[in-house]
Amino acid sequence: WRPLRPEGGAKRVVVLILDALGQNLIQQEEPHLKSVLEQVAIRETITSIFPSTTVNCLSSMWSGTAPAQHGLIGLHLYFPELAAVGQMIHFTPRFKRLPDALVEAGIKPETFLPVPSIAQKFSQVGVNTYAFKGYDIVNSALSQMHGRGVAGNYGAFSFADMLSQMRQLLETQLQEKMYLCAYWPTIDTLSHHHTTQGQSTIHELRALFRQIKTVFLDELSPQARQDTLFFIVADHGQKAYTGEVIEVDELPELKELLLIRGAGEPRVPYLYAKQNKVADLTDYLQRNFAAEISAYPSQLLLESGLLGPPPFADTVALRMGDITGIMKKGAIFVSDSRDQWVANVFKSSHGGLTHDEMYVPWLGFAL
């Protein structure tokens, strides 16, 4: 960010997170995004974190800590105290969608992450934080985790509505030091169903950038632009499925080796072996699916620093299970009927370490 303000002095920072906006999309669609891209002062490619999935990435963005430190390392996490695997976007058990059932079971969103939020950190130095996102998730358990200490939570009914609300806040709070973080999911949603190359996905990206220009950038007054920096970034990209599937229910030997199924996600499964079967599980995967999956001892992967440096969250080793699988190419791991639904309905996903999943844009504007 320093090239935007080498002498310092920025008072307001605006970060727009476009879910699943991979760098490959920016490069491919550059001629259609020119009206925004020609205004950037910083244009870089950065890497996502591992696993390259929304709950993990947003938790790092909202805490300023690594995955191994905040512990929310995947869409589905095992809760031994509940004897269940939970889905972390809707805070529901994996076996049936019951939104916020984990809250009813005693899991408290406000204390789930063992690290303070960036809003709490910023407030200590006199900077207010504001969160903008879709109306339907503004008060979700995940938003409560991330939004501890925010000065304001704004729910939007459309992308244009969100941009308008962001602009209005900047216009009405001209002297306030603030961090404004906005999130929009539609590229991710459409990429799952149509791939990043689908016409719906491409036209959505173009429409979002047109609105960034016409609703936000073009409408900001000189007063609101003063001492304000604006960034566009993504949490991750997506990788199209290529047909390779490890389907547990169709593999009796693999099924017999697993104690708990469904943790992690199809691109990064966390595997829990039955007692004294870790070596057998590793050997089975290496013998039969070396082209589809890299299977690592989870403790070794944690200590390697792939999920970030110490200090590690107390829960992170348990949540990684015995073996962490990293899927190769566009392969997926189908643990159960829930994953089978994903395999049947989705055409691409994320979580792994391929270029398409990991490389995202970092666009900076000195308004």
> Both 203 and 279 in a single domain?
no
Residue 106 lies inside a defined structural domain of this protein: no
CB-based burial of residue 81 (10 Å sphere; 0-12 exposed, 13-18 middle, 19+ buried)?
A: exposed
CATH number, domain containing residue 189: 3.40.720.10
pLDDT at 39 over 90: yes
Q: Kindly tell me the burial class for residue 354, based on how many C-beta atoms sit within 10 Å of its own C-beta (0-12, 13-18, 19 or more).
A: buried
Mean pLDDT of 361-365: 97
Q: What does pLDDT average to over the chain?
A: 97
- Whether residues 360 and 344 share a domain: the answer is no
**Is 361 part of any domain?**
yes
CA distances from 182 to 94, 125, 200, 234, 275 (A): 28, 21, 22, 11, 45
Give the range of the structural domain holding residue 38, as residue numbers without chain letter: 8-72+113-240+355-366
* CB-based contacts of 161, cutoff 8 Å, min separation 6: none
Considering the chain, what percentage of its residues have pLDDT values greater than 70? 99
Residue 1 has pLDDT above 70, yes or no: no
- At 3, is the pLDDT very low, low, confident or very high (cuts 50, 70, 90)? confident
213 vs 26: CA distance, rounded Å: 16
DSSP string, 270-338: EEEEPTT-HHHHHHHHHHH-TTTEEEEEHHHHHHHTTT-PSSPPTTHHHHT-SEEEEE-TT-EEE-SHH
117 & 193 share domain: yes
Structure tokens at 31: 């001629």
Q: Do residues 64 and 186 both lie within one domain?
A: yes
Q: Is the pLDDT score of 5 beyond 90?
A: no
pTM over 0.95? The answer is yes
One domain, residues 321 and 278: yes
Question: 178 with 124, same domain?
Answer: yes
Residue 338's CATH number: 3.30.1360
DSSP-derived secondary structure for 62-95? TTS--HHHH---SSEEEETTTTEEEETTTTEESS
Q: What is the pLDDT of residues 93-137, one digit of tens each?
A: 999 989 899 999 999 999 999 999 999 999 999 999 999 999 999
User: What is 119-176 written as a DSSP string?
Assistant: HHHHHTTT-EEEEEEEGGGTTSHHHHHHTTT-SEEEEESSHHHHHHHHHHHHHH-TT-
**Number of structural domains in the chain:** 2
Question: Looking at the domain assignment, is residue 92 inside a domain?
Answer: no
Residue 118 to residues 3, 87, 122, 180, 222, Cα–Cα distance (Å): 23, 24, 6, 11, 28
pLDDT, position 6: 61
Q: Which of 205-214, 297-306, 334-343 has the lowest mean pLDDT?
A: 334-343
How far apart CA 86 and CA 218 sit, in angstroms, is: 43
Q: Are residues 60 and 159 in the same domain?
A: yes
pLDDT of amino acid 7 = 72
Same domain, 272 and 193: no
H or E segment to which residue 191 belongs? helix 186-194
The pair of three-digit structure tokens given for residue 318, joined into one six-digit string: 């348990």
Q: Is residue 95 part of a domain?
A: no
Name the β-bridge partners of 359.
Answer: 47
